[in-house]
Structure 1
């Protein structure tokens, strides 16, 4: 069985692994990796502005949503409060993190120059315009047009790099980014009344689940293996094999069925099977051996959230009276997405700025907050009369984790490298 997924590492521990390109004669405006020397540090690499903006936005948007929900307030834009919350969690916070991840991975894929300086500032500006449009522009067509500028520009830049670098093995990642942009458009279309209101949400979440399964399946065992080898361990994570391919194929099928026919028993069965296979895959990566290393343990916890969320989504289809759909959805969003994004953001922010890749006390607190916040959000629908208080506690913890990232890692992202090596 063969699946045409890319196999090379997507995201290096440090930008020292990015191939160096020879500078053209007389080109003194770029360093050895092609970053603009005159650009401020925040615009030297894609992860810097987008990780900071995404974390800050996630930390602020959840309290706003709780204020809207419990206060009965409405946004001045075209979205209802709930629709705005869903849209901004997917296409505001998450889109920013995805952009930072992919823009930083592209030079490693292709050996080409990273996006930096003014072009990166323009892309970040388009993201900000989208957030303002979704919040305050009352005309839904105008809000959609302004918001879609960012995903379309990001999609075009990624495809340009894949094609120019002839890096076809990573074309599936660019294709998934295209589907992410289509999910954004579909969500706007649902708000306008042209499509089912949840069609874009399922498309986007299906794509994100597959991205976590695929990219998480690269970085979790790879980083774990590196750490265990340095520690002299005898047992290492299993290499990519038949079980992994079956798990990815099943997850892809489950996502497709969930997007197209979400209420069918076959969909529930596929989701349950995917959750079990993802869990079996994770069990082969020696996670129990790295629990004392928080910056690695959080990657395993994030991937475990993916397995649990797929299983809960399947149970929500097969036994809706037992498993509320909102609990299953938030296991995927608050749990898998929230945990994996923070895990990658903290690790990459350290490694790509020349700092030791290890979690200090503040970072461990961030990991604890996002985990407890996600658990509370998943538990809230089961709590009957305590739903409101648990929802608030979960929201405070989860958003606090991202605000904590912005405070702790903001100076790192805005500052220069910690080492003299450029």
Structure 2
């Protein structure tokens, strides 16, 4: 379905579509939160938050950066699903201000009190679910309502995160529940866009094997993975959980192999989607093996494979592609865009290596540096595109 036109507006271009403010703010949040993390980790810097430094770090990436990118994606995809005009102008500005309020409230929660900070922070994802559901229902696009289930789970995980941090002193279940919700979202959305974009690129002038269409294997794999990740959230150390995760890893690897990713080496915008999804079965495998042998495979290895590998790589890949396409530019990766992709891939690999070999602190430092370079690089390369009108509209 063609992208609907936006309404004539006196608001700046950055408020004309959901991806514009949220992709820019999300990338800046990801870079700045990581820049603060190592000084916080080593006790050289303090926040005014009730969260422990490690919880602040987890929260601001899992419930700060990620909801911004998910919101930008949903508010841009839903008009294509429904044919309705996008959420823009004042409604979009209200969501942006609510997200910013949450970031400030969490950082200063020691001053405002944990309950007020939690309420202000959690309101954002609730508002996003309500806004997205309203648009989907108004457009009678019932089949896409299921996409909101992982987003609603992410909201519930955020509420639980605040409660655990306050009453237990540190988060636990909520970390894995939030990560699992986003990984399932990647399985659902990635299962749509990766084979679709790959097919569209291959059929132009590269006859041969094409991605396998979505089918029962995909449905079963997503269902199995969701059950395994739910078990991992609440019972991460049990043998049953380990078995579920390892089996889910195998099926997700098979699923990825069916998408003809080996034929996309000459197009970085398509290839990065396949590479990002590859971290999903790898994360499932490491999380499953950690349940069998936590002494050999630390649980944090699977967590960072999901967070820095699957989630960060996939979000940057989608952000770059959506920004180019929706601002009227050619879907072609520049040298700078390729550098952003390489940086986040290196950051992911180094962070997994640092989890396996925690004594090698240089791996952690290098991973953080490449992460910052990737997200700051996106903001520099694409920030101007996000703040200016679409090219054809300007012409």
CA distance 1:185–1:384, change in 2 (3 Å): closer
**Aligned residues of 1:36 and 1:44 also touching (Cα < 8 A):** no
In the superposition, the TM-score normalised over structure 2's length comes to 0.96
2:36 corresponds in structure 1 to: 64
Determine whether 1:336 maps to 2:310: yes
State the 1:39 CA deviation.
Answer: 1.9
Which of residues 356, 359, 382 is equivalent to 1:409?
Answer: 382
**Aligned residues of 1:73 and 1:81 also touching (Cα < 8 A):** no
Please give the alpha-carbon distance, in whole angstroms, between the structure 2 residues aligned to 1:303 and 1:272.
16
Please give the alpha-carbon distance, in whole angstroms, between the structure 2 residues aligned to 1:384 and 1:78.
27
Structure 2 unmatched ranges of 5 or more: none
2:259 corresponds in structure 1 to: 285
State the 1:420 CA deviation.
Answer: 4.2
1:326 corresponds in structure 2 to: 300
Determine whether 1:350 maps to 2:324: yes
State the 1:232 CA deviation.
Answer: 3.0
In the superposition, the TM-score normalised over structure 1's length comes to 0.90
Please give the alpha-carbon distance, in whole angstroms, between the structure 2 residues aligned to 1:394 and 1:286.
29
1:8 corresponds in structure 2 to: none
2:369 corresponds in structure 1 to: 396
Q: Secondary structure at the match of 1:197?
A: coil
Task: Tell me the alpha carbon deviations over residues 123-150 of structure 1, each in whole angstroms, 9 at most, x when there is no partner.
Answer: 0011001001111121111211111221
Please give the alpha-carbon distance, in whole angstroms, between the structure 1 residues aligned to 2:128 and 2:182.
16
1:92 corresponds in structure 2 to: 64
Where does 1:360-399 land on structure 2 (aligned, <5 Å)? 360-386=334-360, 388-399=361-372
Please give the alpha-carbon distance, in whole angstroms, between the structure 1 residues aligned to 2:217 and 2:137.
31
1:303 corresponds in structure 2 to: 277
Choose 250-259 or 276-285, whichever is displaced more. Answer: 250-259
Task: Tell me the alpha carbon deviations over residues 95-149 of structure 1, each in whole angstroms, 9 at most, x when there is no partner.
Answer: 1000100111111121222110111111001100100111112111121111122
Determine whether 1:257 maps to 2:231: yes
Q: Secondary structure at the match of 2:259?
A: coil
1:6 corresponds in structure 2 to: none
Which of residues 33, 39, 46 is equivalent to 1:74?
Answer: 46
Two-structure CA RMSD over aligned residues (Å): 1.6
Which of residues 136, 140, 143 is equivalent to 1:166?
Answer: 140
Task: Tell me the alpha carbon deviations over residues 204-228 of structure 1, each in whole angstroms, 9 at most, x when there is no partner.
Answer: 1111111011110110000000000
Please give the alpha-carbon distance, in whole angstroms, between the structure 2 residues aligned to 1:61 and 1:416.
29
Determine whether 1:149 maps to 2:126: no
Please give the alpha-carbon distance, in whole angstroms, between the structure 2 residues aligned to 1:318 and 1:301.
27
State the 1:194 CA deviation.
Answer: 6.7
State the 1:261 CA deviation.
Answer: 1.9
1:117 corresponds in structure 2 to: 89
Which of residues 60, 66, 78 is equivalent to 1:106?
Answer: 78
2:194 corresponds in structure 1 to: 220
Matched pairs, number? 393
Please give the alpha-carbon distance, in whole angstroms, between the structure 1 residues aligned to 2:142 and 2:356.
46
**Aligned residues of 2:147 and 2:188 also touching (Cα < 8 A):** no
Q: Secondary structure at the match of 2:42?
A: helix
Please give the alpha-carbon distance, in whole angstroms, between the structure 2 residues aligned to 1:343 and 1:158.
22
Structure 1 unmatched ranges of 5 or more: 1-15, 21-32
State the 1:328 CA deviation.
Answer: 1.2
State the 1:196 CA deviation.
Answer: 7.6
Please give the alpha-carbon distance, in whole angstroms, between the structure 2 residues aligned to 1:71 and 1:124.
31
